[in-house]
Amino acid sequence: MKTLLKIFLLFCFYIFNFIDAEAQPSITWNRLYNGPFNWYDESYDICQTSDGNFIAVGYTRNPNYSICALKINNYGDTLWFRIIPNNFQLVRRALSVTSLSSGGCLITGESDSLFILKLDIWGNVEWYKIIGSSYERGYCITATADNNFIICGFYGLLMKIDENGSIIWKKYYPANLFKSVINSIDGGYIVVGTYSIGSLSYAKIIKTDTAGKLIWQNIFIVNNSTAAVAVVSLNNSYVICGMTNAQTGQIWENFISKIDINGNLYFTKLYVSKNSEYFNDMIKYNDNSLVICSELDSNGAEPYNISKAYLLDTTGNIKKDRKYFSNETQYMYSIARVANGDIIFSGSARKQTIGGIDDIWIVRTDSLLNSPNVNISSNENLLFSKYKLYQNYPNPFNSRTKIKFESENTNNLELKIYDNLGKMISSYTLNNVQSGNNEIIYDPTNLCSGIYYYSLSINSKLIQSRKMIIIK
């Protein structure tokens, strides 16, 4: 009887929490994030993490292109900003990210070849792997139904890996590139991209089984050259979005196409534009709606390029569209649906006030695409540069370890200890801290063997976190 009561209480707990999550009011904001080098910063993808926050990935320059990841909370406040150093004159950019149940993430993108990177919940690198030949790129990474991950990319690449980055299988199909991959409705994977025949490019869609065996494929063209950039499943069919060269050959226009589960084309809807416009990403919002973001070329009609979002019904009719203005040229590359029904977009925007330097740009809207137009700058690098948290020593350790940090004279520092699931175990307020190097002795008397994390914060803003290992 007691067991049944516990099950019933747990059921009620999860149901009430689910209802509360969906019933939360919208939180809307529009923010810029300047990287630590105060130069070029862009985000190409964003996802919501299992702890309810968000990770945006892309690149920063100093002067080489380095992979970066930014974690923010529901209000857009920076939790951490991580950079994977690039000591070579190579372009290294993160192009896609997917969350893990641990609170961390897997990232893929381009370097001298395709890379895969795993970050933990605090942004620490767990591993970094280079896979493939030169000029390969990972454009999209998606979690699979069997708890693995599927990556698509350049040269028709499709690859399945496990959470440790080990290759399960890797295949190539006739295509210039694949931009988007999802789990298919009836098992396997759906992949879309571009395939060239002569001087024309075609939108290409393929279906494979879970082992990568090709089940069917299709190519189509809308006007002239055509490219598919994203795909979603919707009501027992698939919707593809992309771009096509207009009949005049001078501008690019957008389209969506609906495909049945066997790859047959239902319909294509073209969005005619006076200026070139480029669909960049698409999500299924619910069974009745799609959300698409695009980049609109001003061609002199506006003082700079602008970004635009669309809310569409299942036949492609525009229910609402919205332009988002920044200080100058802007690019909106990625979309994610938030657990409470909001929508979050990421990209970059150029701030005229600091000499044309690009910042990561993230916009959170309600379900109707509404958000503030005014950007709030989130440049906290001057603050963070004055504080540093060092690796504890010894590590691993048994009884005691030294934790060193560098700071200015302050009374607002906190040292927090977390377990491997992100649960805070203890917190220490550090008063009368002197300028320069400081250290404390940490004695985890009541903790078991395992992986733990310690973080340094000032005024409740996270400065840095590190991993430590206890062995007893």
CATH number for the segment(s) 386-470: 2.60.40.1490
Query: Rounded mean pLDDT of 406-416?
Result: 79
Among 33-47, 86-100, 190-204, 452-466, name the one with the lowest average pLDDT.
452-466
Highest mean pLDDT among 80-84, 287-291, 406-410: 287-291
Q: What is the mean pLDDT of the chain?
A: 85
| HSE of 424, CA atoms in CB hemisphere, 13 A | 9
Please state, in angstroms and rounded to a whole number, the distance separating the CA atoms of residues 70 and 46.
Answer: 9
Is pTM beyond 0.85? Reply is no
Query: Rounded mean pLDDT of 55-68?
Result: 89
Tens-place pLDDT, residues 299-318 = 545 556 788 999 999 999 99
* Confidence band of 87 (pLDDT split at 50, 70, 90): low
What sign for the dihedral angle of Cα 356, 114, 96, 34?
Answer: negative
Q: Output b/e per residue, 85-113; b: 16+ Cβ within 10 A.
A: ebeeeebbbbbbbbbbebbbbbbbbbbeb
Asked, colleague to colleague, whether 26-376 and 386-470 share their fold, the answer is: no
* Confidence band of 399 (pLDDT split at 50, 70, 90): confident
Please state, in angstroms and rounded to a whole number, the distance separating the CA atoms of residues 440 and 404.
Answer: 7
- What is the architecture, at CATH level 2, of domain 26-376? 7 Propeller (2.130)
Contact present, 295 and 277 (Cβ < 8 Å): yes
Domain ranges of the chain: 26-376, 386-470
Tens-place pLDDT, residues 191-208 = 999 999 998 999 999 999
Q: Which residues, at least 6 apart from 433, have a Cβ–Cβ distance to it below 8 Å?
A: 407, 409, 410, 411, 413
The sheet with strand 401-407 has its strands ordered as 388-389, 401-407, 436-442
Please state, in angstroms and rounded to a whole number, the distance separating the CA atoms of residues 354 and 344.
Answer: 25
